[in-house]
Amino acid sequence: MMKNKNKGFLIPPINLFPRNRKGDKILSVYWFAILIIVAGGIFGMVYVFYGAPYDVREIESDLLINKIADCISYAGKINSNFIFNGVIIHNNESLLKQCHLIFNSSEWDEEQYYAEINFYRLGDLNNSFLNIYAGNNKWLANCAIQENKEFEKLAKCNRASFYSVDNSNNQYIIKILSVVRKAEKNAKL
């Protein structure tokens, strides 16, 4: 026992590690249960996060539309390499080169993209006067049935249209269709 200098009485020593440890056994069971729950939660989150591939085909299709739209018309004016003074200058073969697009890849046996651009005069929206297309048109058939959830593993199709004028102020509606397949890497088959 220790003697307290101020009051003159003895203070028993405090034992920080008692010899009776029955509570430690009970707490260790709960501690392991908490560890198992936390480890299971981490495993579950990792499995959900990495379990299925991300389906980025729709985003990729939107990006393709934006890239083509910027190539065809910038700031509301049609590129003079496509239409000049109301006269068609462009053909299908040069779309990919003109817009700096590459549709074929060494990792795929066949092209996984298709793009179609239709030009309509503002007075006649039923008949397009210029059709430009590039890519594998085999994927075009998937666009008609993609709304059904059973066929969501098919190619993703997106459509966009915008207004533009040429250098002679002739007015046009331009409709773009883009199709991206790449289902083997983006959709769980």
DSSP letter for 61, please.
H
43-98 pLDDT, tens digit each:
999 988 887 767 788 888 899 999 999 988 888 888 887 777 767 776 666 777 88
Q: What is the mean pLDDT of residues 132-155?
A: 75
Task: Tell me the pLDDT band of 185, cut-offs 50, 70 and 90.
Answer: low
Two tokens, residue 14: 């405090």
* Cβ-contact 79, 100 below 8 angstroms: no
Task: Tell me the pLDDT band of 34, cut-offs 50, 70 and 90.
Answer: very high
* Mean per-residue pLDDT over the chain, rounded: 79
Q: How far apart are CA 158 and CA 60, in angstroms?
A: 10
Strands 113-121, 156-165: parallel, antiparallel or unpaired by DSSP? unpaired
Which contiguous run of DSSP H or E holds residue 179?
strand 171-180
Two tokens, residue 39: 């480890």
Percent of the chain with pLDDT over 90: 15
Task: Tell me the pLDDT band of 189, cut-offs 50, 70 and 90.
Answer: low
* Sequence spans of domains, the chain: 10-50, 57-186
Strand-pairing partners, residue 49, are none
- C-alpha pair distances (Å), 71 with each of 17, 33, 79, 110, 167: 77, 60, 7, 25, 15
pTM of the model: 0.68
Give residue 65's pLDDT.
Answer: 92
